[in-house]
């Protein structure tokens, strides 16, 4: 198969949702279709149990399993599908945001009863930032749901994206009868007792009285609603979807395997092939001859006896070949990757080649950090891996003076993995760790002890936000840094960060220094 054929058949995407909307269940059902797993339950075990904020065994177990399930590739018809797993736990949302830089499209799962939830909105904001095409799957139709039109309005308003239903539910909850596929005009019946996939039944003309024989009293409602849908929503526009301006919507019940195959079939048909990627220097097209790729995730210490890590590299252009020399542009060094792994079906295997859209696992002994770029020599640095301002801050102190080297190394490596962010106070030189959730502090403490033999203590620090600052006028910046000396810090890359104690202090600083830009992400 030629490069272009290989690229065109790839679909690399992520599934995101607010916890509990059904992401895991849907992922599992898609994998069952793809033959990547054989029994239900295989993905479930990858979840951190609800409320487990300090269950370290669970976290460790999860880390072990999630290497295998971080990327799940399978063949589906002529397509090669790659699902990138995103952690469901809110405290790991930064990990999810980074994974979203490596996908070409996204499926957002929404609970039909709960509608759009806070986490859904945050994730959609990230998709919007990168114009990622989005498909919406409204799940749990077997349970009492909100009115369908109200739900769609909510999606449009809160997720700030136009929608176009491609299927339409017939009732919901205990009376859920199935969906009408608006695309190929067929009826699909829901039966909670039969989870096998049945072909949809062609039903071009909803006015036909035979409809009553199939869905009884719901026939009239369906007729009215579909008429309204066709009147209110414009035709599905593929270009608008690919541009990230329009989200097709499907309805179903992942638990009962209903609507999932329909989703997958439509997905492979309409979802984008690997997209061009913006680097600092230029835009790189997947069809370019030379290989480029970037690290979007690092997974450490799969085997605690060896400090091994796996760097996950998304192939962006050209063809990756095993044992070829590639340039690590940040270090300006050449590397030969001799045992890259691919994640196909349920096993991890060494691969000889990979194409744009694919993810390869590269064993690493500490050369890679998130965002690193590999090329055939060209100086390219991929953009798009922002750090967000953390929401919790603690001073980190060494609790075992004999182990300070281990502590520094451990903190360094954990930060490279993206577990949390490190800032160093300009005022007193103390190290500050910033995270999105409480769970990360516990993970850091635990991992420092178990993997690096170091002990640390955290000291509370009341802080509102870390803001990266920027100003065209150097003199104003210098004045600001002088005035705010006690609150200035450097991030890991040595950039200036203003640590605002409170929203009020931040607003004051913003009004006192209108020429300074305060950024809440590290990429601007
Ligand atoms: P998440 O990954 O988005 O957090 O959600 P997950 O798939 O784990 O689903 C959360 C809960 O919702 C699970 O129930 C799951 O079985 C249920 N669920 C998912 N899809 C559907 C659906 O289409 N219909 C119905 N009725 N339920 C659905 P749980 O009781 O929390 O877990 P479990 O004990 O079933 O594993």
Of 21, 24, 25, best ligand 1 pocket probe by most atoms within 8 Å of the beta carbon = 25
Ligand 1 contact via 259 beta carbon (within 6 Å): no
Ligand 1 contact via 253 beta carbon (within 6 Å): yes
**pLDDT above 70 for 198:** no
Ligand 1 contact via 223 beta carbon (within 6 Å): no
How much distance in Å is there from the Cα of 354 to the middle of ligand 1? 34
Instruction: Please name which of 520, 295, 304, 292 lies closest in space to residue 416, comparing C-alpha atoms.
Output: 295
CA 338 to chain centroid, in Å, comes to: 28
**pLDDT above 80 for 107:** yes
Quick one: tokens of 288?
């370019």
* Angle of CA points 198, 203, 209, to nearest 5°: 120
With cut-offs at 50, 70 and 90, classify the pLDDT of residue 60.
low
Phi/psi of residue 410, nearest 5 degrees: -60, -50
Phi/psi of residue 251, nearest 5 degrees: -120, 150
How much distance in Å is there from the Cα of 97 to the middle of ligand 1? 23
Total length of the chain: 524
Lowest mean pLDDT among 44-48, 357-361, 402-406: 44-48
Measured by CA distance, the residue closest to atom 29 of ligand 1 is 20
**pLDDT above 80 for 65:** no
Q: What is the pLDDT of residue 472?
A: 93
How much distance in Å is there from the Cα of 111 to the middle of ligand 1? 10
Q: What is the pLDDT of residue 66?
A: 54
Q: Looking at per-residue confidence, does 110 or 41 come out higher? A: 110
Average pLDDT over residues 330-339: 92
How much distance in Å is there from the Cα of 21 to the middle of ligand 1? 7
Of 255, 257, 258, 263, best ligand 1 pocket probe by most atoms within 8 Å of the beta carbon = 255
**pLDDT above 60 for 32:** yes
- Any residues with CB less than 8 A from the CB of 171 and at least 6 apart, and which? 177, 218, 221
**pLDDT above 90 for 126:** no
Ligand 1 contact via 25 beta carbon (within 6 Å): yes
Burial of 49 from C-beta contacts in 10 A (0-12 / 13-18 / 19+): exposed
CA 459 to chain centroid, in Å, comes to: 31
How much distance in Å is there from the Cα of 222 to the middle of ligand 1? 28
With cut-offs at 50, 70 and 90, classify the pLDDT of residue 96.
confident
Q: Are 423 and 434 in contact (CB under 8 A)?
A: yes
Ligand 1 contact via 418 beta carbon (within 6 Å): no
Measured by CA distance, the residue closest to atom 4 of ligand 1 is 20
Mean pLDDT of the chain: 87
**pLDDT above 80 for 70:** no
Domain spans, the chain: 3-270, 277-375, 392-519
Q: Are 86 and 95 in contact (CB under 8 A)?
A: yes
**pLDDT above 60 for 380:** yes
Question: What dotted CATH number matches 3-270?
Answer: 3.40.50.300
Question: What dotted CATH number matches 392-519?
Answer: 3.30.70.3280
What pTM value is reported for the model? 0.85
What is d(CA 483, CA 454) in angstroms, rounded to the nearest whole number?
A: 36
Fold category of 277-375 in CATH: Rossmann fold (3.40.50)
Of the chain, the percentage scoring pLDDT greater than 90 comes to 57
Q: Looking at per-residue confidence, does 241 or 206 come out higher? A: 241
Of the chain, the percentage scoring pLDDT greater than 70 comes to 89
CA 319 to chain centroid, in Å, comes to: 24
Q: What is the pLDDT of residue 50?
A: 46
Ligand 1 contact via 114 beta carbon (within 6 Å): no
What's the first-to-final CA gap in the chain, in angstroms? 40
With cut-offs at 50, 70 and 90, classify the pLDDT of residue 55.
low
Ligand 1 contact via 143 beta carbon (within 6 Å): yes
Ligand 1 contact via 257 beta carbon (within 6 Å): no
Q: What is the pLDDT of residue 195?
A: 61
> Which atom of ligand 1 is nearest to 27's Cα?
7
Lowest mean pLDDT among 220-234, 241-255, 411-425, 457-471: 411-425
Q: Are 78 and 7 in contact (CB under 8 A)?
A: no
With cut-offs at 50, 70 and 90, classify the pLDDT of residue 59.
low
Q: What is the pLDDT of residue 7?
A: 94
In terms of C-beta distances under 8 Å and separation of at least 24 residues, what long-range contacts does 228-234 make, across chains too? 228/149, 229/165, 229/168, 229/182, 230/182, 233/163, 233/164, 233/165, 234/164
Give residue-wise pLDDT tens across range 131-144: 999 999 999 999 99
**pLDDT above 90 for 507:** yes
Domains 3-270 and 392-519 alike in fold: no
Instruction: Please name which of 488, 443, 485, 444 lies closest in space to residue 463, comparing C-alpha atoms.
Output: 488
């Amino acid at each position: 198969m030629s490069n272009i054929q290989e690229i065109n058949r790839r679909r690399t995407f992520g599934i995101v949702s607010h916890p509990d909307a059904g992401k895991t269940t849907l992922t599992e059902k898609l994998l069952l279709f793809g033959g990547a797993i054989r029994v239900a339950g295989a993905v479930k075990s990858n979840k951190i149990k609800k409320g487990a904020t300090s269950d370290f065994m669970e976290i460790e177990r999860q880390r072990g399993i999630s290497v295998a399930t971080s990327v799940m590739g399978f063949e589906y018809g002529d397509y090669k599908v790659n699902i990138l797993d995103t952690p469901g736990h809110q405290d790991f949302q930064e990990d999810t945001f980074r994974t979203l830089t490596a996908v070409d499209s996204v499926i957002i799962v929404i609970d039909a009863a709960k509608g759009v939830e806070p986490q859904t909105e945050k994730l959609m904001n990230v998709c919007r930032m990168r114009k990622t095409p989005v498909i919406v799957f409204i799940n749990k139709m077997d349970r009492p749901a909100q009115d369908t039109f109200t739900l769609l309005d909510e999606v449009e308003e809160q997720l700030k994206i136009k929608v176009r239903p491609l299927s339409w539910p017939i009732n919901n909850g205990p009376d859920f009868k199935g969906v009408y596929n608006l695309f190929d005009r067929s009826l699909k019946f829901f039966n909670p007792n039969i989870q096998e996939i049945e072909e949809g039944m062609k039903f071009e003309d909803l006015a036909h009285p035979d409809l009553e024989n199939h869905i009884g009293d719901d026939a009239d409602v369906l007729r009215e609603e579909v008429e309204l849908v066709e009147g209110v929503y414009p035709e599905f526009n593929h270009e608008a979807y690919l541009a990230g301006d329009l989200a097709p919507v499907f309805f179903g019940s992942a638990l009962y395997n209903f609507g999932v195959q329909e989703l997958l079939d439509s997905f492979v048909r309409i979802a984008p092939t690997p997209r061009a990627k913006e680097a600092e220097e230029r835009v790189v097209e997947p069809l370019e001859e030379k290989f480029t790729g970037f690290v979007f995730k690092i997974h450490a210490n799969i085997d605690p006896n060896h400090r091994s890590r796996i760097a996950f590299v998304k192939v962006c252009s050209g063809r990756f070949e095993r044992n070829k020399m590639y340039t690590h542009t940040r270090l300006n060094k050449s590397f030969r990757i001799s045992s890259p792994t691919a994640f196909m079906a349920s096993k991890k295997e060494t691969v000889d080649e990979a194409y744009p859209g694919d993810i390869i696992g590269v064993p690493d002994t500490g050369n890679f950090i998130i965002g690193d770029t590999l090329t055939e020599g060209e100086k390219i640095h991929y953009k798009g891996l922002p750090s967000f301002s953390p929401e919790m801050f603690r001073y980190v102190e060494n609790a075992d003076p004999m182990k300070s080297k281990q502590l520094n190394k451990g903190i360094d490596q954990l930060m490279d993995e993206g577990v949390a962010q490190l800032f160093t106070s300009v005022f007193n030189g103390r190290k500050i760790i910033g995270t999105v959730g409480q769970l990360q502090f516990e993970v850091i403490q635990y991992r420092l002890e178990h993997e690096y033999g170091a002990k640390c203590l955290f000291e509370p620090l009341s802080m509102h936000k870390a803001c990266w600052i920027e100003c065209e006028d150097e003199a104003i910046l210098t004045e600001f840094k002088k005035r705010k000396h006690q609150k200035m810090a450097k991030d890991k890359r040595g950039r200036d960060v203003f640590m605002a104690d409170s929203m009020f202090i931040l607003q004051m600083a913003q009004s006192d220094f209108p020429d300074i830009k305060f950024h809440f992400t590290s990429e601007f």
